[in-house]
């Protein structure tokens, strides 16, 4: 390609003035990227064009600036600023000639324009309303997501703290609850701090239960069971703060009716773990 010929062939002027066709534009943009001379000549003409336009400026109405800045100020980002202004003004432009030919025609024209204006406002109002509804829906679902993420995060943090504590604190006993014959897959760990009496239960996998039943954790103290609280079935790892106990030779988990029982149903014992601490 003869670059000089391309540059002086009028394409630059055509492109800048908005007279080039789509294919000419694409070709020109590609040539600009390919040939620095084309890009330089393009910049040079643009500057000349801008300078010429600025030299030939005519004072613009200050009122337009006021209205423009007002329109963008009143418009929250994303909404469309008022566009019907020109339509309403057009009505006034038409007023003069039409009025001479009869007031009824003017009224007819005015009412049509008013209707268009009202329809436009109604449309705008409805679209804003639905945008608003969509936004609050999104907001709610984000809140829900955030809450669930928060609780997961808190669990992770709490578990982490308990685990660290268990590792570093010689007073914490970790009891691995082993599934019994009736529930071989049940799995949970009890973290028991014998000095503070705190009991945490890390549930790893407990099979689902009918809705009227819950699991119940027991501490076996001198052969007698003592209630440590109820919890729901889950196959996700969760950490639960159970009731405190000062003593325990073993922990047991049974299936009980919702809310728990005063004494364990031993044939429904799901898992059992013995402490190694001598009481």
CA-to-CA distance for 32 and 48, rounded, in angstroms? 18
Q: Identify the CA nearest to 277 among candidates 176, 171, 167.
A: 171
195: Cβ–Cβ under 8 A, 6 or more apart, which residues? 171
Residue 115 CA to its chain's centroid (Å):
40
* 16 counts as binding other proteins under rule CB under 8 A: yes
> Would residue 102 be called left, alpha or beta, if left means φ above 0 and alpha means ψ between -120 and 50 degrees?
left
Q: Find the part of the chain contacting other proteins (CB under 8 A) among 56-64, 132-140, 154-162, 256-264.
A: 56-64
Count CA atoms within 13 Å of residue 48 on its CB side.
Answer: 10
> Would residue 137 be called left, alpha or beta, if left means φ above 0 and alpha means ψ between -120 and 50 degrees?
alpha
* 276 counts as binding other proteins under rule CB under 8 A: no
* 9 counts as binding other proteins under rule CB under 8 A: yes
The residue (of 73 and 224) whose beta carbon lies closer to other proteins is 73
Number of other residues whose CB lies within 10 A of the CB of residue 136? 10
The residue (of 1 and 63) whose beta carbon lies closer to other proteins is 63
CA-to-CA distance for 60 and 70, rounded, in angstroms? 17
Of the candidate residues 67, 129, 143, 149, the single one contacting other proteins (CB under 8 A)? 67
Site for other proteins in 87-116 (CB under 8 A): 87, 89-90, 92-94, 97-98, 100-101
DSSP 84: -
* 129 counts as binding other proteins under rule CB under 8 A: no
Instruction: Return the SS3 of 220.
Output: strand
* 55 counts as binding other proteins under rule CB under 8 A: yes
Give the nearest distance from C-beta 208 to other proteins in angstroms: 51
Interface with other proteins: number of residues (CB under 8 A): 57
Of the candidate residues 1, 2, 21, 104, the single one contacting other proteins (CB under 8 A)? 21
The residue (of 59 and 223) whose beta carbon lies closer to other proteins is 59
3 burial via Cβ count (<10 Å: 0-12, 13-18, 19+):
middle
The residue (of 70 and 160) whose beta carbon lies closer to other proteins is 70
The residue (of 64 and 276) whose beta carbon lies closer to other proteins is 64
* 23 counts as binding other proteins under rule CB under 8 A: no
Of the candidate residues 4, 36, 40, 69, the single one contacting other proteins (CB under 8 A)? 69
Residues that bind other proteins (CB under 8 A): 8-11, 13-19, 21, 29, 42-43, 45-61, 63-65, 67-69, 71-73, 77, 80-81, 83, 85-87, 89-90, 92-94, 97-98, 100-101
């Amino acid at each position: 390609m003869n670059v000089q010929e391309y540059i002086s062939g009028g394409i630059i002027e055509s492109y800048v003035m908005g007279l080039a066709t789509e294919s000419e534009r694409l070709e020109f943009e590609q040539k600009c990227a390919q040939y620095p001379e084309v890009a330089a000549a393009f910049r040079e003409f643009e500057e000349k064009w801008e300078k010429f336009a600025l030299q030939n400026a005519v004072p613009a109405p200050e009122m337009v600036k006021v209205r423009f800045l007002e329109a963008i100020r009143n418009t929250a980002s994303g909404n469309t600023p008022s566009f019907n202004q020109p339509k309403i003004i057009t009505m006034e432009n038409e007023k003069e000639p039409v009025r001479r030919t009869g007031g009824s025609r003017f009224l007819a024209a005015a009412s049509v324009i008013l209707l268009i204006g009202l329809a436009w406002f109604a449309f705008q109002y409805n679209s804003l309303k639905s945008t608003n509804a969509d936004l609050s829906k999104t907001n709610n679902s984000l809140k829900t997501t955030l809450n669930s993420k928060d609780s997961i995060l808190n669990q992770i943090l709490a578990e982490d703290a308990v685990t660290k504590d268990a590792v570093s604190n010689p007073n914490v006993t970790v009891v691995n609850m082993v599934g019994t014959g009736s529930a071989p897959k049940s799995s949970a760990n009890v973290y028991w701090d014998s000095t503070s009496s705190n009991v945490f239960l890390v549930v790893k996998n407990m099979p689902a239960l009918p809705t009227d039943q819950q699991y119940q954790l027991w501490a076996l103290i001198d052969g007698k069971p003592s209630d440590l609280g109820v919890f729901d079935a889950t196959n996700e790892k969760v950490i639960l703060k159970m009731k405190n106990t000062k003593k325990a030779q073993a922990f047991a988990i049974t299936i009980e009716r919702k809310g728990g029982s005063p004494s364990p149903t031993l044939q429904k014992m799901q898992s059992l773990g013995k402490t190694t601490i001598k009481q």
